[in-house]
Structure 1
Amino acid sequence: MAERRLVLLALALLIVSAGFMAWKLRAPFGFILELRGIKLAALICVGAATGAATVLFQTVAMNRLLTPGIVGFDALFVLFQTLLVATIGGSGVARIPGVVQFAVEASMLMVAAAGLFGVLLRRDAADVTRMILTGVILGVLLRGLAEMVQRLLDPSEFTVVQQAMFASFGAVDPGQLGASFVVLACVLALSWRMAPALDVAALGRGTARGLGLDHDRVVIAAMLMVAALVSVSTALVGPVTFLGLLAASLARQLVDTHRHAVLIPAAAGIGATILVAGQFVFERLFSSQSALAVVVEFFGGLLFLALVLGKARA
Structure 2
Amino acid sequence: MQDSRLLALAAALLVLCAAFLTLGAQGDWGFILTWRGARLAALLVVGTAVAVATVLFQTVSSNRILTPSVMGFDALFVLLQTGLVFSLGGVGAAALPATARFALEGGLLMGAGLLLFGTLLGSRRPDLHRMVLTGLILGVLFRSLAGFLQRLIDPNDFVVAQASSFASFGAVDTELLGLAALLSAAAAAGAWVMRHRLDVLALGRDTAVGLGLDHRRAVLLVLVLVAALVSVSTALVGPVTFFGLLVTALAHRLMRTHRHALLLPAAALIAGITLVGGQIVVERLLGLTATLGVVVEFLGGLAFLLLVLKEPQR
**TM-score, normalized by the shorter chain, greater than 0.5:** yes
Residues 125, 220 of structure 1: 8 Å contact kept:
no
- Return the alpha-carbon distance in structure 1 between the equivalents of residues 8 and 170 of structure 2: 29
- For residues 207-245 of structure 1, what are the alpha-carbon distances to aligned partners after superposition, in whole Å with 9 as ceiling and x for unaligned? 100111001111101101010000000000101111100
- For residues 56-95 of structure 1, what are the alpha-carbon distances to aligned partners after superposition, in whole Å with 9 as ceiling and x for unaligned? 0000000000011011100000000000000011111121
Q: What are the within-5 Å matches in structure 2 for residues 125-136 of structure 1?
A: 125-136=125-136
Residues 198, 260 of structure 1: 8 Å contact kept:
yes
Residue 59 of structure 1: aligned partner: 59
- Return the alpha-carbon distance in structure 2 between the equivalents of residues 146 and 265 of structure 1: 36
User: Is 1:159 the equivalent of 2:159?
Assistant: yes
Residue 35 of structure 1: aligned partner: 35
- Return the alpha-carbon distance in structure 2 between the equivalents of residues 177 and 9 of structure 1: 24
Residue 274 of structure 1: aligned partner: 274
- Return the alpha-carbon distance in structure 2 between the equivalents of residues 25 and 99 of structure 1: 30
User: Is 1:18 the equivalent of 2:18?
Assistant: yes
Residues 76, 109 of structure 1: 8 Å contact kept:
yes
Shift of residue 31 of structure 1? 2.2
- Return the alpha-carbon distance in structure 1 between the equivalents of residues 43 and 164 of structure 2: 17
Task: Give the number of equivalent residue pairs.
Answer: 314
Q: What letter corresponds to residue 45 of structure 2 in structure 1?
A: C
Residue 70 of structure 1: aligned partner: 70
Q: What letter corresponds to residue 280 of structure 1 in structure 2?
A: I
Residue 84 of structure 1: aligned partner: 84
User: Is 1:238 the equivalent of 2:238?
Assistant: yes
Q: What letter corresponds to residue 145 of structure 1 in structure 2?
A: L
Structure 1 stretches (4+) deviating beyond 3 angstroms?
Answer: 311-314
Unaligned stretches of 5+ in structure 1? Answer: none
Q: What letter corresponds to residue 201 of structure 1 in structure 2?
A: L
Which is worse superposed, 78-87 or 301-310? 301-310
Residue 284 of structure 1: aligned partner: 284
Residue 189 of structure 1: aligned partner: 189
Query: How well do the aligned residues superpose, as a CA RMSD in angstroms?
Result: 1.5
Q: Cα–Cα, structure 1 residues 184 and 270, in superposed 2: closer, same or farther, change >3 Å?
A: same
Which is worse superposed, 66-75 or 281-290? 281-290
Which is worse superposed, 142-151 or 31-40? 31-40
Residue 2 of structure 1: aligned partner: 2
Shift of residue 305 of structure 1? 0.9
Residues 39, 174 of structure 2: 8 Å contact kept:
no
Percent of pairs with identical residues: 55
Residue 149 of structure 1: aligned partner: 149
- For residues 164-207 of structure 1, what are the alpha-carbon distances to aligned partners after superposition, in whole Å with 9 as ceiling and x for unaligned? 11111333233311111111111121111111111001100011
- SS in structure 2 at match of 1:27: coil
Which is worse superposed, 157-166 or 169-178? 169-178
Residue 102 of structure 1: aligned partner: 102
Shift of residue 290 of structure 1? 5.1
Residue 260 of structure 2: aligned partner: 260
- SS in structure 2 at match of 1:171: coil
